[in-house]
Structure 1
Amino acid sequence: MRNDQVDPHQCRSGAPHGGPTGLWARPGLFDAVLFDRDGTLVYDVPYNPDPDRVRAMPGAREALDRLRDAGLRLGVVSNQSGLARGRFTAADLARVNARVDELLGPFDTWQVCPHAEPDPGAESCRCRKPAPGLIRDAARALGTDPTRCVVVGDIGIDMTAAGAAGAAGILVPTPVTRAGEVAAAPALAGNLRDAVDLILQRHRLADAERPGAVPRGRPRCVLVARPDSAGDVLVTGPAIRAVAAGADRVVMLCGPRGRAAAELLPGIDELVEWRLPWIDPEPERIDRAEVDRLTSRLAAIGADEAVLFTSFHQSALPLALVLRMAGIRRISAISEDYPGSLLDVRHRVPTGIPETERALSLAAAAGFRLPPGDEPVLRLLPDAPQAVRVDDPQRVRVDDPHAGSAVRVDGPAAGVDGPAAASAGDELPEPGYVVVHPGSSVPARACPPELCAEFVRALSAAGHRVVVTGGPGEGALTAQVAGRTGIDLGGQTSLTGLAGIIARAGCLVVGNTGPAHLAAALGVPVVSLFAPTVPFGQWGPYRVPTVRLGDADAACRHSRATACPVPGHPCLSRIEPRQVVEAVRLLSRDDDPADPSGRVNPSGRVNPAGRADPSDRAEPPDRAEPSDRAEPAGRAEPGGRVEVPDAAGSTPVLTGSGTSGGLAVPAGPTRSAVREVRP
């Protein structure tokens, strides 16, 4: 008898069986937590030069010590433009940081940007939040990469910097936090204690042993199911790899909308396709004979157990009933509804967890974990992305077995204006071009085509070569969007061919649709034109640098609407072309000396030469930190010379020699207040 049959509250799963014992090379999701200083760790005193005025936030010390006890390393990432503006001296900064370290430390790294906000039109430093430099430098100093870091801050630029570096972000609002920043945050916490609760919960969720787990043998065959669309299948990839690591054979049940994506995922030995009428957005009538055939087909597989992956708004129970009828003895799924005898492992997760982590937590509950060295990032089969080549001025070759040997560009591939021009025999285009994908299977998530056409024209005018892609039947849409300045490949490639096009891109401009997750699986940064019909924290591109554009607090927020409920599509129609150009500019920067080739990003996914490191992304700044709301005065140049005394009063003289223009500041009485100033 299973536990939920004797539990009076009917809320516990049956005793799960222990699975593979291997952990990731670094257990848990995170290695480090990086905190903004003012307004997050300590009360914000604008341009504070006085260590006696430093006051820690309530509960901060206890919260930080819990993270240390969990084995996580801690850092501070802080904009301090008062140094450039002459509001305090380098010695003042060192003393204030030392006081913070005394109250809340020791911190494992301090990264400080001493630069002021640049004049309009001027080039900014790479370190000033919302740019990603401080986050990337902190991760490097801690021996990890940004995707294994969490950034905790109190205003929007902290969250932007987190996303810019590919890190997770948690916003802890204060009275100065704007409503739009709260709406756009990937995750929220009421205070530092709550933020730490969320970090530790996510850190452990995807690798947790379930209470009462008992050893079991390695299953011979496991059925996994994700009968949704392409994006849903892609975000489940890490969980499927976890199952594959602990089973001899994996068979996947998918729907017709997700099959092409399933064919790109590692870890799957066989696919079974069936349109589930309780999942598919355009369901067919239930046919008893079809259900009987599916049941017989699943019974013939001979699976020892099944793991049913669903989204947060779906039920696994109808499919669990079919699998019981097929004779599968052990079934695991997430279910808020009482499952009766349909589930052996009934798992639950908190709301707001990213879909990828949600699926990983179910796999772990069923006894399957990613093996050492397999990071929980989206990934495709190594040979999935295909090459794209132009053989003559009017033909684009896509080495894509699903689309044929070549496809024609319906437009002047070699005659496009300006930088988009290509000559015969060249790669089309060279790595680093921008892909604009205007379509979506859900109309509410698609940006208006006339606005996407403006994006293409603006990007081309800014010097970018632009490729416009689309699915079957979207030829008219992509032709309108591409115009005369973009290269139109709409409807001319399969998903495999699209992967090849995206793999060579500098970034992808796209809505909340499957290609966004395809880009994440390829390590390609995303400008996300994200309609807020579903939560960004759950459905945004996972562990890849992402600029989110659009109104996060629009009327359709979290409505799951498939058609826009508000005339004029206000959540996306107000995006300005200049915002897209700026986002692409920031995404396309490749100034990381640790990887000058641009070939391999921190997650280990292979990138073509010339593409910006996916962790080097920033969102256009939309506000200054509370301490930075002042006119510039005496701004320091990013490569300028700065002298910062340490706590003992000695003054190391430092010149620009690093990567981001920030100060690596390990504050404390026994450590130099500044290690280097970076141009």
Structure 2
Amino acid sequence: MLFDRDGTLVHDVPYNGDPDRVRPVDGAREALDRLRAAGLRLGVVTNQSGLARGHFSAADLARVNARIDELLGPFDTWQICPHDDPADSDADAPGGPGGRAGCRCRKPAPGLVIDAARALGTVPGRCVVVGDIGRDMTAAGAAGAAGVLVPTPATRPEEIAAAPAVAGDLRGAADLILRRQRLVGPARATRRSRPRAVLVARPDSAGDVLVTGPAIRAVAAGADRVVMLCGPRGRAAAELLPGVDEIVEWSLPWIDPDPAAVDREQVGRLTDRLAATGVQEAVLFTSFHQSALPLALVLRMAGVARIAAISDDYPGSLLDVRHRVPLGIPEPERALSLAAAAGFALPPGDEPVLRLRTGPGAAGRPYVVVHPGSSVPARACPPVRCEQIVQALAGAGHRVLVTGGPGERELCARVAGTAGIDLGGRTALPDLVRIIAGAGALVVGNTGPAHIAAAVGTPVVSLFAPTVSFGQWGPYRVPWVRLGDATAPAGTPGPPPAR
């Protein structure tokens, strides 16, 4: 857990060099002690340009920080950027008096978060940054860490809207982190024996299947064989998931976005097909707006003895494990929490990150990938904006590859123009994975390739449309920067051209 200092841990006193003026925010000590008691290590990441500007000395800064340690500590690491912000300086010298242009550590740059993680013997993906303004969240994202915003009167509305997660105060931030830790903690169910075969279901699109990957690996670690039920839109992604031994492809009329009529014979054939897999258990993964109960009924008819799912609706005897998850939990953690409730946990050493069965990235000169399309039009960045992004990137000297599915050839051709390389409709999913794996960055909206990038460790420039929660569906545990107006209604023009 990494905390901003001023406005987050203590009341903001501009350029404070006096330890007697340090006042912790309400509930700070209680919240921090709860986190320490849960085994979490705590650090501070703070911009202190007052040192470069001459408002206080290094000795003053040390005394203020020592007072904070006395009142709220001990902290396991302090990471401080002493440099000035060139954008805020009136001095003629680059970087301002004592400052440094291009500083890597001053938030919103990720340097403080990266250095704090290293000092704690971990990686940014296992860290959470708590702060009171947008630059704290941007620094967290750019490092690949999670972020929780605790707004103050100085926090702008657009910063609140863009934050991955928001808490009312430090107590609420601690509650959120500890709840997430409990949800994905050790498997809670007591097992008499290891199941021979377990069915996992995620009959959605490719992106939905990808974010379920860590939970499926958890099930695979506790079962002899894993059968995955997926839909036609997710089949190619399911084939790339570690831990899946067999795939059953079926379009479910209560899940498919363009469903056929419910047909008794089709449901009967599905029941027979599922019975033929020989599974004894099933874990049904769904999105927050979907119900697992129709599939649970089919599985009961197929003779499956134990079924687990997330369900707010009363399931009667359809579920043996009825799990509930609050809104806003990142989708990979939401799925992992269901696996844990069903008695399945990731083995030691398997971090809860997205992962694919894939080879090395594409070779050749470094490049950036722009993926302009989306399976849901309301989530897509307007084509004219994507054209401008490609042109700006190419003008800055980047090699730009434009990707898209078979139905997006015309879109990709338009966006690529003469500045980019058009690959629209020319890559199967494994090829797209290799291309994204070899990229310096992926520019994309909230659609499947964003999760591919997270799975292969490629940084994401997210043109995220505010149709769903960014904290729940944004790129998971990979460096990201979010562009655009998070307060804009769906369907409005996207972010300005890249600079």
Question: Is TM-score (shorter-chain normalized) higher than 0.5?
Answer: yes
1:447 and 1:40 map into 2 onto residues whose CA distance is 34
Say which of 145, 169, 172 aligns to 1:194.
172
Unaligned runs of 5+ in 2: 89-93, 96-100
Measure how far apart 1:544 and its partner are. Answer: 0.5
User: Where does residue 496 of structure 2 map in the other structure?
Assistant: 576
What is the SS of the residue equivalent to 2:482? strand
Match of 1:470, SS state, is coil
Alignment of 1:539 with 2:459, yes or no, is no
The answer to whether the 8 A contact 2:190-2:343 is kept is no
CA distance in 1, matches of 2:482, 2:385: 16
CA distance in 2, matches of 1:192, 1:207: 22
Residue in structure 2 matching 1:299, options 243, 259, 275: 275
In 2: Cα distance, 1:104 partner to 1:278 partner:
52
Q: Is residue 130–residue 149 contact of structure 2 (8 Å, CA) maintained in 1? A: yes
Alignment partner, residue 98 of structure 2: none
1:137 aligns with 2:112: no
Deviation at 1:288, TM superposition (A): 1.4
Over 3 Å counting, the alpha-carbon distance change for 1:382 and 1:495 in structure 2 is closer
The partner residue of 1:87 within 43, 55, 70 is 55
User: Where do residues 201-280 of structure 1 align in structure 2 (5 Å cutoff)?
Assistant: 201-210=179-188, 213-280=189-256
Give the whole-Å Cα distance in 2 for the aligned partners of 1:207 and 1:66: 17
Distance 1:316 1:152 in 2: 35
In the alignment, structure 1 segments of 5+ residues that lack a partner are 1-32, 389-426, 557-563, 582-679
Q: Which moved more, 1:150-159 or 1:199-208?
A: 199-208
Deviation at 1:215, TM superposition (A): 3.0
Q: Which of 450, 454, 466 does residue 400 from structure 2 map onto? A: 466
Hey, what's the Cα distance between the residues in 2 that align with 1:246 and 1:106? Answer: 39
| In structure 2, C-alpha distance between the alignment counterparts of 1:438 and 1:371, rounded to whole Å | 37
Counterpart-to-counterpart distance in 2, 1:60 and 1:107: 13
1:60 aligns to 2:36 (yes or no): no
Q: For residue 401 of structure 2, give the secondary structure of its aligned residue in structure 1.
A: strand
Q: 1-side partners of 2:341 and 2:179: how far apart?
A: 14
SS at match of 1:112: strand
Letter of the aligned partner of 1:185 in structure 2? Answer: A
| Partner residue of 2:371 out of 409, 414, 437 | 437
Residue 555 of structure 1 and its aligned partner are, at CA, apart by 2.5
Which residue matches 1:156?
134
Aligned residue identity for 2:119 = A
Q: Note the C-alpha offset of 1:289.
A: 1.2
SS at match of 1:491: coil
Show CA shifts across 1:533-575 (max 9, x none). Answer: 000000001000111111111223xxxxxxx3xxxx23x1xx1
Determine the C-alpha separation between the residues in 2 that align with 1:214 and 1:105: 38
Q: Distance in 1 between matches of 2:472 and 2:311?
A: 18
Query: What is the alpha-carbon distance in structure 2 between the residues aligned to residue 208 and residue 444 of structure 1?
Result: 38
Corresponding position: 1:109 with 2:50: no
Letter in 2 for 1:332: A
Distance 1:311 1:205 in 2: 16
* Mapped pair 1:36 → 2:4: yes
The DSSP-based 3-state class of the residue aligned with 1:72 is coil
Provide closer, same or farther for how the CA distance between residues 368 and 209 of structure 1 changes in structure 2, counting only shifts above 3 A: closer
Partner of 2:302: 326
CA distance in structure 1 between the aligned counterparts of 2:396 and 2:253, rounded to whole angstroms: 47
Q: Which has the larger share of helix?
A: 2
How far apart in 2 are the matches of 1:119 and 1:275?
Answer: 54
Q: Any conservation in 2 of the 1:244–1:268 contact (CA below 8 Å)? A: yes
Q: Is the 8 A contact 1:117 1:124 kept in 2?
A: no
Counterpart secondary structure, 2:407: coil
Distance 2:4 2:87 in 1: 24
Deviation of 1:209 after TM superposition, in Å, equals 4.6
- Could you say what secondary structure the match of 1:473 adopts? helix
CA distance in 2, matches of 1:361, 1:214: 15
Following superposition, the deviation at residue 243 of structure 1 comes to: 0.2
CA–CA separation in structure 2 for the residues paired with 1:450 and 1:181: 26
Q: Alignment partner of 1:306: what SS?
A: strand
Amino acid at match of 1:187: A
How far, CA to CA, are the matches of 1:282 and 1:271 in structure 2?
A: 22
- The 3-state SS of whatever aligns with 1:341 is coil
Shift of 1:448: 1.0
SS at match of 1:157: helix
Match of 1:610 in 2: none
Identify which of 483, 486, 492 aligns with 2:426. 492
1:245-644 alignment runs, 5 A limit: 245-383=221-359, 388=362, 427=363, 429-430=364-365, 432-556=366-490, 564=491, 569-570=492-493, 572=494, 575-577=495-497, 580-581=498-499
Equivalent-residue separation in structure 2 for 1:143 and 1:466 (angstroms): 36
Aligned residues: 489
4+ residue runs over 4 A deviation: 119-123
Kindly state the Cα deviation for residue 455 of structure 1 after the two structures are TM-superposed.
Answer: 0.6
One-letter code of the match for 1:221?
A
| Deviation digits for residues 145-167 of structure 1 (CA, Å, limit 9, x no counterpart) | 01111111111111111111111
In structure 1, what is the Cα distance between the partners aligned to 2:253 and 2:133? 43
2:51 is the counterpart of 1:75: no
1:300-333, CA deviations, whole angstroms, 9 ceiling, x for partnerless residues?
Answer: 1110100000011110001001101111010000
Residue identity in the other structure for 1:180: E
Q: Deviations over 1:442-496 (max 9, x none)?
A: 0001111121111111001111110011101211111111111111111001111
Contact 1:208 1:361 (8 Å CA) reproduced? no
Instruction: Write the letter of the residue equivalent to 2:103.
Output: C
**Aligned residues: CA RMSD:** 1.3
The alpha-carbon deviation at position 174 of structure 1 amounts to: 0.7
Residue 132 of structure 1 aligns with an amino acid whose one-letter code is P
Partner SS, residue 300 of structure 2: helix
Q: Do the aligned residues in 1 keep the contact of 2:369 with 2:442 (CA within 8 Å)?
A: yes
Superposed CA offset, 1:164-215 (max 9, x none)? 11111101111111111111111111111111111111112112454xx433
Q: SS of the counterpart of 1:244?
A: helix
Deviation at 1:382, TM superposition (A): 3.9
Instruction: Write the deviation string for residues 5-36 of structure 1: whole angstroms up to 9, x where unpaired.
Output: xxxxxxxxxxxxxxxxxxxxxxxxxxxx0000
Q: Any idea what SS the aligned residue of 2:52 has?
A: coil
Aligned residues of 1:160 and 1:547 also touching (Cα < 8 A): yes
Identity %: 77
How high is the TM-score relative to the length of structure 2? Answer: 0.96
1:83 is paired with a residue whose SS is helix
Output the CA distance in 2 between the equivalents of 1:215 and 1:503: 39
Give the distance between the partners of 2:378 and 2:489, measured in 1 at CA.
12
Looking at structure 2, the residues matched to 434 and 209 of structure 1 have their Cα atoms a distance apart, in angstroms, of: 40
Alignment of 1:97 with 2:58, yes or no, is: no
Letter aligned with residue 550 of structure 1: G
